[in-house]
Amino acid sequence: MALRLVTIFGGSGFIGRQIVQDLASMGVRVRVAVRDPQKAAFLKPLGDLGQIAPMKVNVADEQAVARAVEGADAVVNLIGILYESGRRTFQALHVDAPERIARLSKAAGVQRFVHMSALGADPQADAAYARAKAEGEAAVRRHIPEASILRPSVVFGSHDSFFNMFGAMTRLVPALPYYVKDAFRLVRDETTGRPAIDLGGSGGPRFQPVYVGDVSEATIKCLTSDAFAGQTFELGGPRAYTMREIMELVVEQTERRTWVVPVPFWVARIQAKVMGLLPKPLITPDQVKLLERDNVVTGTLPGFEALGIEPTAAEAILPTYMNRFRPHHRNVILRAPQ
Model confidence at 195, pLDDT cuts 50, 70, 90, reads confident
**Is 168 a member of any domain?**
yes
How far apart CA 127 and CA 287 sit, in angstroms, is 7
- Each residue of 8-19: b (16+ CB within 10 Å) or e? bbbbbbbbbbbb
**Is 102 a member of any domain?**
yes
Do 92 and 182 lie in a common domain?
Answer: no
Give kind and range of the element (H or E) at residue 68: helix 62-69
pLDDT tens-digit map of 22-76: 999 999 999 999 999 999 999 999 999 999 999 999 999 999 999 999 999 999 9
Written as one letter, the residue type at 307 is L
Does the pTM exceed 0.85?
yes
Domain termination site, one of 271, 291, 311: 291
pLDDT tens-digit map of 289-322: 999 999 999 999 999 999 999 999 999 999 999 9
High-pLDDT (> 70) share of the chain, %: 95
Q: What is the overall mean pLDDT for the chain? A: 93
pLDDT tens-digit map of 95-152: 999 999 999 999 999 999 999 999 999 999 999 999 999 999 999 999 999 999 999 9
Do 140 and 168 lie in a common domain?
Answer: no
Smallest CA-to-CA distance from 72 within 53, 91, 88, 48 is with: 53
**Is 58 a member of any domain?**
yes
**Is 333 a member of any domain?**
no
Domain that holds residue 101: 5-146
**Is 178 a member of any domain?**
yes
